[in-house]
Structure 1
């Protein structure tokens, strides 16, 4: 199964969870697919997430070696004058219709029902990691803590580069991800 996200002026529209997926995806659990179906929409730009969930997408695009992460960092330095940066992380609530029988499971603090898209972008605003499908009541920090990339970083298996000297300095500092204060990095 493939998941298609329809975007119109940067905002996903007409998403609704598949009825059989309500109880399958709980915070911290991974499902093989997000269980989403798309209602008809007006002509728009469409992004495609391959079946198999975020693991498949992550394995296709997420840097996995120090050299690949250094390429991301070099772009942040060259384009934004920000050294030792490996990406920008944020979550986005994708508004959905309340699934029948779901109660408040997808209800979020904004007063809508949603599923969360968590992503890391490179200096060119390209997605280099995506996790999609956690219910909207979970915070960005809670979603992040349960992503595969977060677990790989904690377990030192993400292939991150060693601390390095800042450009034009003798000071050695670690690499960082940019995020707001919702992320306990």
Structure 2
């Protein structure tokens, strides 16, 4: 080995000379100051001392942060070799900050003093680690779990045999390449559809994300495995039961709005027009729409807490799926550990009150034609809610007593 080769061999990678004599740095000088001036190293220790500020920053309590970190640490921890790796604490911090604000990768790069492409990799890898929570915080529903959810709906929302409420939400994204108008929705922006089933305690039971934005609720519902499982009888609905105080035996059902088809297992409101509806239909529509507040509130909580959902996500659709699925698991984890923030819930309920009238005002869709059995089951629910189930109760949000 001659002298020039020996000199090159001993020269650090950060000082190797390339074309035109320009020096190429292994790490930009700005990012080399990460441990001195990076947001995590300067702010994180202070956040741990003030729980309210930690919640504002991460959108979760300190205990929840450590709980999540303990579970995913084996999946995101890297082994240091010739340079020090980014710690699991900092990786989780970057991910939560992105989900809670929707800041761009380049903005986060200057805050945390980490290159933007490294930021992206950290976020995607941390989101992949969510799988370790699925079994505990969102297992696939069993008959026992659905029956428990139905009891909660009857106790809290006064609608019998309801195992869940279903609805869809559009997640705004940048226009993917070579997709034409597939992701362009009726609201005038590009999106993918998040469709979710929610229990009476504001937790996700089943989530499907990734459908094209131009598809309606009925079209999205008819595509995924959930629909196929229900249609083939493999979805674990509890056995129909006799309603207390009556001779009626009714099946367990899901509640949806007018965008969904009326099925034997999926109830929606009666269509409304310009003419005044009979009182018994108005009561049924109100009670169904009132129970459906749970899914409306869940979407409201998601957007108010994880504000990346308020922005146009500048990532590819398959990464959008990854981010959104992480958010719904974080939502379930937050409720399990922290409970529901009553102040936030009250604001969202107030905003959703006007939606009750609007949700029953849309006319029927031609592709949502139902079978005779589905009409009969809806009529039986209507009869129950206007007879035995028509006792006065106090509205959970307004405090008023409603018949």
Q: TM-score, normalised by structure 1?
A: 0.68
How far, CA to CA, are the matches of 1:98 and 1:108 in structure 2?
A: 11
The answer for the alignment partner of 1:69 in structure 2 is 146
Q: Which has the larger radius of gyration?
A: 2
- 5 Å-filtered alignment, 1:128-139, equals 128-139=205-216
The superposition leaves residues 95-151 of structure 1 with CA deviations (integer Å, 9 ceiling, x where unpaired) of: 111123322121111110000000000001100000011110111111111122221
- 1:182 maps to which of 259, 269, 279: 259
Post-superposition Cα deviations, 1:38-68, rounded to whole Å, max 9, x if no partner, equal 85788xxxxxx965999x959942312x222
Identify if the C-alpha distance between structure 1 residues 50 and 122 changes in structure 2 by more than 3 Å, giving closer, same or farther.
Answer: farther
Gap change, CA 1:91 and 1:52, over 3 Å in 2: farther
Equivalent residues, number: 149
What pairs with 1:1-185 in structure 2 (closer than 5 Å)?
A: 6=99, 13=102, 39=105, 51=128, 60-64=138-142, 66-184=143-261, 185=263
Q: What secondary structure sits across from 1:6 in the alignment?
A: helix
| 3-state SS of paired residue (2:235) | coil
Contact 1:50 1:57 in 2 (8 A): no
TM-score, length of structure 2 as denominator length: 0.33
The structure-2 alpha-carbon separation of the partners of 1:57 and 1:50, relative to structure 1 and needing over 3 Å to count, comes to farther
Which residue in the other structure is 1:24 paired with? Answer: none
Change in Cα spacing, 1:95 to 1:40, as seen in structure 2 (3 Å) is farther
Write the distance in 1 (CA, Å) between the matches of 2:105 and 2:190.
Answer: 16
CA RMSD, Structure 1 to Structure 2 (Å): 3.3
Give the whole-Å Cα distance in 2 for the aligned partners of 1:41 and 1:117.
Answer: 27
More helix, by proportion: 2
Shift in Å at residue 6 of structure 1? 2.8
Kindly indicate whether structure 1 or structure 2 has the higher relative contact order, using CA contacts under 8 Å at least 6 residues apart. Answer: 1
Residues 143, 169 of structure 1: CA spacing in aligned structure 2 closer, same or farther, 3 A cutoff? same
Which structure is higher in strand share? Answer: 1
User: d(CA) in 2 for partners of 1:159 and 1:41?
Assistant: 46
Unaligned runs of 5+ in 1: 15-37, 43-48
